[in-house]
Amino acid sequence: MDDVVFARVLHVLGVVLWIGGVAMVTWVLLPSLARMESATDAMAFFTRFRQRFAAQARMTTLLVGLSGFYMVHALNAWSRFLQWQYWWMHAMVLIWLLFSVMLFVMEPRARRQVAAVAASKQISSDAFVKIQRKHLMLLVLSLMTIAGAVAGSHGWLIAAN
């Protein structure tokens, strides 16, 4: 059982680094970039920042996915995915899948598109507002999932009627 405890520790640390980073980008970085005088300079900074952050986010989402899968397997908790009182397990998988697709598929494509737009110098400060809205939606869904997972894993379940 010590291996499950270790997996849970890795899982929680991964979620803290991953979603904490999303919160910092959403509430601190993007609003600051939107207020910069030069949208071109802001996009150049954002591009450099995103490369480093995306690497950290990829590592933490991979850690979260592997540790989560291991815990479900080790605890033989697969049946929980058939019970709606464990809705937060479904939400965790969906959030993880969404971010994984974004980080491993969509982000590399977007990086190439941003490079093309930056080369043509057609960047507006509204770009950061749009990016922030998307990040805010993902952050709210992630925080709801975290709250549900903490409550549910500590016994606060929806009644199974």
Tell me what pLDDT residue 27 has: 95
**pLDDT tens-digit map of 25-53:** 999 999 999 888 888 888 889 888 988 89
Altogether, the residues listed in the chain come to a count of 161
Q: What is the Cα–Cα distance from 106 to 29, expressed in whole angstroms?
A: 20
Residue 159 lies in a domain: no
Residue 158 lies in a domain: no
In this structure, are residues 157 and 86 in contact, taking their beta carbons and an 8 Å threshold? yes
Total domain count for the chain? 1
Residue 81 lies in a domain: yes
The answer for residues whose C-beta is within 8 angstroms of residue 75's C-beta and 6 or more apart is: 4
Residue 12 lies in a domain: yes
Q: What domain range is 85 assigned to?
A: 2-153
Q: What is the Cα–Cα distance from 85 to 83, expressed in whole angstroms?
A: 6
Number of other CB atoms surrounding residue 137 within 10 Å: 11
**pLDDT tens-digit map of 121-149:** 566 767 788 888 999 999 999 999 999 99
Identify the CA nearest to 55 among candidates 44, 63, 43: 63
Confidence of residue 158 (pLDDT cuts 50, 70, 90): confident
* Across 9-29, average pLDDT: 96
Residue 86 lies in a domain: yes
Position with higher pLDDT, 11 vs 120: 11
* Across 84-100, average pLDDT: 95
pTM value?
0.86
Q: What is the Cα–Cα distance from 152 to 3, expressed in whole angstroms?
A: 21
Q: For the chain, how far is it from start to end, CA to CA, in angstroms? A: 32
Tell me what pLDDT residue 122 has: 63
Which two three-digit tokens encode residue 34? Answer: 């939107």
Which two three-digit tokens encode residue 51? Answer: 């490369």
Judge whether residue 82 has pLDDT over 70: yes
Residue 100 lies in a domain: yes
Residue 161 lies in a domain: no
